[in-house]
Amino acid sequence: MAVLRLLAALGSGALFGLGLAVSGMVDPARVRGFLDVTGAWDPTLGFVLAGAVGVAFVGFRLVRGRERPLLEAAFELPTRRSIDRPLVAGALLFGVGWGLAGFCPGPAVAALSFAGPQVLLFVAAMLVGMLLHDRFAAPRLARSTHAPAGSS
């Protein structure tokens, strides 16, 4: 079963990376072109996002009809619906970084195989940011989202 999960993850990641490469989303200029609504706007990313939302919509509808995934014991679906300061701050940081660099994590990893040093720098900075978050922010956020024992 573990080998099947790894193969499914590899296949899913390869398909995702191929889709990013074919759609041109590994090109930072194309992403910045989409974000430049007052200049030479490039709508390509909008079509890619619409396609992704459509696939996710169908996928979530299919999930609702199953008891469990094919290769796992249970689904891991989001349960929180609140919009709080860490969520907004993270979204802003993600958006600013995406706009400045032209990369977000998926396309940056997909571009590692053929892009230049700017991608290596971006991925290195992304990994450092993830490590810093896990070391400092995640424990604090976990403490703030759980009520103290004995409270109701």
Note the pLDDT of residue 150.
Answer: 46
Number of domains present in the structure of the chain: 1
Structural tokens at position 39: 């200049």
Beta carbons within 8 Å of 119's beta carbon, 6+ residues apart: 103, 108, 111, 112
Note the pLDDT of residue 100.
Answer: 85
Chain position carrying tokens 């996710």: 56
Residue 17 lies in a domain: yes
Residue 151 lies in a domain: no
Note the pLDDT of residue 127.
Answer: 93
Digit-by-digit pLDDT tens for the chain (152 residues) are 789 999 999 999 999 888 888 888 888 888 888 888 898 899 988 998 899 999 999 988 888 888 888 888 888 877 888 898 888 998 998 888 888 888 888 888 888 887 788 889 999 999 998 999 888 887 777 776 554 444 44
Note the pLDDT of residue 140.
Answer: 76
pTM here is 0.70
Residue 150 lies in a domain: no
CB crowding 41-70: b at 16 or more within 10 Å, else e: ebeebeebeeeeeeeeeeeeeeeeeeeeee
Residue 131 lies in a domain: yes
Residue 122 lies in a domain: yes
62 lies in which domain range? 2-144
